[in-house]
């Protein structure tokens, strides 16, 4: 696989870093979009004669749910078969992706996330807004940005996370706060997806639950 390996390494050398170009309008954080990552990899792959073929032979899970407002939400998990080929040498890799949506876009989101994460992990791509983002930011900056994400959450979702903390094994506020931020990041700050996550944990959004949750949401 010398030719294939050489092509993959050449693409990795060309695409070390992809700038964040997207912004979540609800939570305010930035991210590297799938379009930007695919565009950078495509240009480098063409240059080094590396073909990347993607197929999605199956949707593994289609899980219906319901939002707080009573509308439906769907979660889909897909498995991709991704072929890397160069000058007669080829390799097929499997990868998984998940997506959720209250309309008909769950499958498309799952496929997009699957391809994006495959490219990021396979070619070890770093992302950031600038070269400075590669450095570890001062703790005060990190805390400020994290606090903004939590503050921007809709009140019912804040109540839901507060309720979840009160109904989870004891842990420090800092530990729980870190977990909430990870959940927000994993769901790209999508409110409907976060509501679906909380409902899966048993949150119903009742007035009684909201009263109990008042002091539970990390700030």
107: CATH: 3.30.390
Distance of alpha carbon 92 from alpha carbon 82, whole angstroms: 5
Element (H, E) at 176: helix 173-186
- The number of domains in the chain is 2
181 and 200 fall within a common domain: yes
192 and 145 fall within a common domain: yes
4 and 110 fall within a common domain: yes
Is residue 62 within 8 Å of 143, Cβ to Cβ? no
**Higher pLDDT among residues 48 and 209, named by residue:** 48
Distance of alpha carbon 9 from alpha carbon 3, whole angstroms: 10
Which of 106, 135, 164 is where one domain is finished?
Answer: 135
Residue 164 is part of which domain span?
136-219
Which of 102, 135, 168 is where one domain is finished?
Answer: 135
119 and 157 fall within a common domain: no
Query: Is the pLDDT at 53 greater than 70, yes or no?
Result: yes
34 and 130 fall within a common domain: yes
Check residue 184 and give its pLDDT: 80
147 and 131 fall within a common domain: no
30 and 61 fall within a common domain: yes
Give the CB-side neighbour count of residue 93, counting CA atoms within 13 A.
12
Give the CB-side neighbour count of residue 131, counting CA atoms within 13 A.
0
| First-last CA distance in the chain | 52
**Higher pLDDT among residues 206 and 145, named by residue:** 206
Strand partners, 82: 54, 93
31 and 44 fall within a common domain: yes
Check residue 129 and give its pLDDT: 47
How do 17-19 and 22-23 pair as beta strands? unpaired
82 and 152 fall within a common domain: no
Query: Is the pLDDT at 87 greater than 80, yes or no?
Result: yes
Which of 135, 156, 178 is where one domain is finished?
Answer: 135
73 and 144 fall within a common domain: no
Strand partners, 91: 84
């Amino acid at each position: 696989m010398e030719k294939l390996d050489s092509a993959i390494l050449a693409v990795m050398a060309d695409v070390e870093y992809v700038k964040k170009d997207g912004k979540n309008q609800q939570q305010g954080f930035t991210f590297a979009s799938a379009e930007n990552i695919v565009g950078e990899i495509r240009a480098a792959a063409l240059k080094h004669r590396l073909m990347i073929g993607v197929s999605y032979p199956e949707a593994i899970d289609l899980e219906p749910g319901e939002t707080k407002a009573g509308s439906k939400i769907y979660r889909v998990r897909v498995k991709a078969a991704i072929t890397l080929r160069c000058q007669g040498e080829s390799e097929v890799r499997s990868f998984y992706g998940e997506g959720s949506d209250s309309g008909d876009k769950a499958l498309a989101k799952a496929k997009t996330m699957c391809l994006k994460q495959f490219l990021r992990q396979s070619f070890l791509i770093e992302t950031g807004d600038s070269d400075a983002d590669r450095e570890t930011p001062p703790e005060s900056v990190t805390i400020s940005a994290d606090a903004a994400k939590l503050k921007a959450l809709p009140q019912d979702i804040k109540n839901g996370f507060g309720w979840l903390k009160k109904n989870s094994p004891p842990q420090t506020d800092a530990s729980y706060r870190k977990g909430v931020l990870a959940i927000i990041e994993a769901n790209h700050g999508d409110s409907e997806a976060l509501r679906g996550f909380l409902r899966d944990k048993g949150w119903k959004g009742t007035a009684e639950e909201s009263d109990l949750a008042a002091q539970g949401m990390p700030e």
